[in-house]
Structure 1
Amino acid sequence: PVTYYDSGSYQLVFQVAEFLCVTQPDLTLKPVLAESWSPNADGSVWTFKLRKGVKFHNGEDFKADDVVATFDRLADPSGASNALSVFKGLLSKGGTRKVDAHTV
């Protein structure tokens, strides 16, 4: 789902979806679908290397196109994504770009 309003829904999402990275209790980031990430010199652009061999429930490969489509959906102002407030001023629809099949 793009929008959820309660902690139960948030926990449900964690049962059926994975993230590029997650915050650990010590506030460090743990890679999940991303293997690594790095910023450019001024921190305005981040590059994420994606794990290879990840499959969706239907057997299709997880690739950069999926990340681009997901971020475009989450950053679309016509949607009701909870992420809009997080992305405001940082990421807009069309702001995520594919570098190659496993890099955004």
Structure 2
Amino acid sequence: MTLDFSWRGAQGCVTLFPNPEFHLHNIPAGAKMLLLTLTQGVREMGGQELPIPEDGVLPAGTFRTFAPCSPGVYQWTAQVKSAAGEVLSEAHKARFYPTDALAQDRP
């Protein structure tokens, strides 16, 4: 499974930050729920568990987390789970905020 997003248009330094648009590809069969979390280093900034979108695209503003504020590398992690809650796959995407340049994903 792969995950992609862009910081384009993101307005950081707000308490409740609307998520960017996410694109998921190669979602495993049987996946029902999607858990997305935002981190900066070891600091978790929030996330939410949602039903997996049928087309793999989760629109911007679907949920809110704490916002990126200072420039740096921020990483989104996506886990997809079965109806029983078993993690079927996990994907990461790290980008520099606010430049949107790719950063090395960390496991």
Structure with the higher strand share, 1 or 2: 2
Structure with the higher helix share, 1 or 2: 1
**RCO higher in 1 or 2 (8 Å CA, sep ≥ 6)?**
2
